[in-house]
Amino acid sequence: MNELFSLKGRTALITGGSRGIGRMIAEGFLRQGARVYISARKAAACDQTAAELSALGTCMSLPADVSTVEGARMLVAAYAAHEDQLDILVNNAGAAWGAPFDEFPESGWDKVVDLNLKTPFFLTQALHGHLRKAGQSRVAKVINIASIDGVSVNPQETYSYAASKAGLIHLTRRMALHLAKDNIAVTAIAPGAFASEMNKDARDHATEVSARIPAGRIGTTEDMAGAAIYLASRAGDYVVGSTLVVDGGVTHARG
């Protein structure tokens, strides 16, 4: 039982790992003993975060723009230069877009759906061999970062974001059934309000946002790291295709 939540000896790749939820997960994985690779579109930010997190353990920066299939494959090539297998993939890189229904642009649809829904599929596909090799000795993990907006309806007009996250939750189930035979467990996390560049309300107006959350506060690094560590470790080996909602009760309050 002492090793149930340990990640010692495991490798992890986290997209969108330079800030927000990705950084929270990276920090948690490092504290549990994993060797962590983070990726982000902005090289300077990715390098800086990796340097800061290296105080906790081995954390390496692999800057890449994974919004295209070509970019995802370039990230895989960069990772393969360091490792021949992958224990944990966290598909966290994402985007959001809000606009009134009658004005919602195609660009706001394509950018969000490509990064939030297409990228997790094709990056996992490109890393299948690395995950399968890790699965020969223990359950490898793919964790997709969805959103509570894919579970229940947010009144904000973020059409492509909500659709992409709902699609990612269902894609998680479909991928999980296929990859289970390779000893790869695919799951998802649906976060609520966590302070990040994407969720500026939670970051800049935490007190106001907290008033709408049954738990009375926004999420912390420990909340997100704990959920991800559970799914990534031995403790989560029998969780297949499920989405863990981490939102302080918001989805229930929405009805």
Nearest to 214 by CA among 155, 254, 156, 162: 254
* 67 within 8 A of 44, measured Cβ to Cβ: no
- Set 37, 79, 159, 161: catalytic member: 161
Q: How far is the CA of 189 from the CAs of 2, 148, 247, 249, in angstroms?
A: 24, 9, 10, 14
Q: Which helix (H) or strand (E) holds 167?
A: helix 159-179
Residues 194, 200, 203: CA angle, nearest 5 degrees: 55
Residues 172, 238, 11: CA angle, nearest 5 degrees: 75
**Distance (Å, rounded) from C-alpha 103 to C-alpha 207?**
31
The burial of 194, by beta-carbon neighbours within 10 Å (0-12 exposed, 13-18 middle, 19 or more buried), is given as: buried
Is 161 one of the catalytic residues?
yes
Nearest to 31 by CA among 10, 15, 17, 48: 10
Q: Annotated active-site positions, please?
A: 161
